[in-house]
Structure 1
Amino acid sequence: MTTPNLTPSELMLQVTGTQPILINVPHAGTQLPPSLKANLRDNALNLKDTDWHMADFALPCAELGASVMAANYSRYVVDLNRSREDTPLYSGPTTGLISQIDFDGEPLYKEGMAPNHDEVQSRIETYWVPYHDALEAEIQRIKSKFGMCILLDLHSIRSQVPRLFENILPDLNLGTNSGQSTDFKYESCAENLLSSSSYSFVKNGRFKGGYITRHYGRPEQNIHALQLEIAQSTYMIEQAPWTLVQKKADQLTSTIKGLASALLVETSTA
């Protein structure tokens, strides 16, 4: 695959905010390089593992002064929520940095078309490195200005993926790496708001937080990271063409914006 020269605006959507919170959406992207698209199986082209519409839920938080980042390229190009060394995050079934299978364990690539070592390294340097450079830079900008930063990592997934988890996923899944990625008061603030909503809720269940939450969450440096994994049944039809259900989406938008607002209020007592 030929390495493209991509500008930051081609790689990501980015809004620079005026408050100490950053909403990040690493799996929002749906773009595929043409050469990769040609190598994927037909059933992989519906991009079913995308965090559908999640950037649209992050952007209203900019009205509160939040910074927003969201990837433009699909996780099938490279998974921004995995380490560049592709260290496993969970003991059970999962997918990798540049996965050859989808969440259901089905192959993504046509026979003989999986990426070789050089292509893997090219994708890391072209897509993963600049995204994480931008993410780190925005975290440090916020911390430099406010003395702290809250990173809220937004994700969504189909409510039923038997290979990854049993039964139906709770609506809202808060992850703080078992309390290691954030100060307790921010974890408690998020838990109180989300658990009192009309949605089903769990904390540090199947989704404790991926690489971004674990890597960037440094509460001892006053950088606090929380992951919110959302069951897609809360806002959309969970099959192609992945249609938004507007009434449900409006309710979820209010909840996410309310969470960002509550966390910001909590920062004022820091």
Structure 2
Amino acid sequence: MVDSPAEPPFMRVGPGIAASPVVLSVPHAGRAYSPALLKASRLPVAKLESLEDRLVDRLIWRAVAEGSTALVAQTPRAEIDLNRDEREVDAAMVSPPPAAGTLLASARTRGGLGLVPSRISGSGAIWLQRMTGVELRRRIDEVHRPYHAALARLLEEARGRFGVAVLLDCHSMPSRHGEADSPDIVFGDRHGASIAPNFLAVAVEAAESAGFRTERNTPYAGGYITARHGRPDRNIHALQLEIDRSVYLGPDLRSPGSGFEKTARMIAAVAGALARKALEPAQDIAAE
């Protein structure tokens, strides 16, 4: 199957020139399911949609209206996962299989959630047949690499203008509200590797002030996007934000719920707090 997308794979939203040091990334909310992709699937579109971070692209509107720039995927996660290394491929789903030395084995690929998802929990295998190596390369060359190149440009643009850039990588997570003390949101900073502690602290404070229970790095410590783009030593910081879907979606977990606007305000508050911290004057260090 070779499937050229009818929709652009992603879009930039927000000001044409960076008005804030904060850049938002929404890699998993794409809903542009092409006819060829649906024809290749043994599962109905409703099952493929379960891979989405449902409507997270709509949650960011307040943050964008207040000056943040965002890069929003339109290509669905079922086609290619932008939060995976391009080498995280299940060789068994590609014909002919890629050379073993070109792949990166991970728990995600073993679980069917690699660069191209191969299975959905409770539903089984996704695809009717193995994809061609040509199609895999097309998805990498036309979607994955351009997305990350565009995100890197936005961060460099922000850093060039403000001296620092902060990436807020926005996701949703399955509901855990049946569990005791379950968080509403989880911040992931690769256990301190992707963002300076003072930025993480203001993000947590903003979310908790907005009425959300937070956790750090458990069970989500940040994925490929935060690992690739977070470079605190270069004044480019990255933080993953995971939001419990039951917090902002209705009982069907598909449509906006009563908490939708509150969650949008929280994201804007976190982006605003990160921007204010980034724009603080650098502290002079007194000579000793």
Which structure: larger Rg?
2
Listed as ranges, the matches of 1:1-270 within 5 Å are: 1-4=1-4, 10-15=8-13, 16=15, 17-46=18-47, 47-86=49-88, 87=104, 88=106, 93=111, 95-104=113-122, 106-110=124-128, 113-159=129-175, 170-237=183-250, 239=252, 242-245=254-257, 247-269=258-280, 270=282
Letter of the structure 2 residue corresponding to residue 150 of structure 1:
V
Counterpart-to-counterpart distance in 2, 1:214 and 1:28: 20
Deviation at 1:194, TM superposition (A): 2.3
Counterpart-to-counterpart distance in 2, 1:12 and 1:169: 32
- Please give the per-residue CA displacement for 1:124-143, whole angstroms capped at 9, x wherever unaligned: 11211111111111111111
Letter of the structure 1 residue corresponding to residue 20 of structure 2:
Q
- Please give the per-residue CA displacement for 1:163-202, whole angstroms capped at 9, x wherever unaligned: xxx8895210100000110111101111222234422211
Could you say what secondary structure the match of 1:10 adopts? coil
Q: For the structure 1 residues 58 and 96, does the alpha-carbon distance in structure 2 shift closer, same or farther, using more than 3 Å as the test?
A: same
Deviation at 1:260, TM superposition (A): 0.8
Deviation at 1:36, TM superposition (A): 1.5
Q: For the structure 1 residues 96 and 175, does the alpha-carbon distance in structure 2 shift closer, same or farther, using more than 3 Å as the test?
A: same
Structure 2 unaligned spans of 5+? 89-103, 283-288
What percentage of residue pairs aligned between the two structures are identical? Answer: 27
Deviation at 1:214, TM superposition (A): 0.9
Could you say what secondary structure the match of 2:171 adopts? strand
Say what the alpha-carbon RMSD is for the aligned residues. Answer: 2.6
Counterpart-to-counterpart distance in 1, 2:176 and 2:64: 31
Question: What is the aligned length?
Answer: 261
Structure 1 unaligned spans of 5+? none
Q: Normalising by structure 2, what TM-score?
A: 0.82
Could you say what secondary structure the match of 1:48 adopts? helix
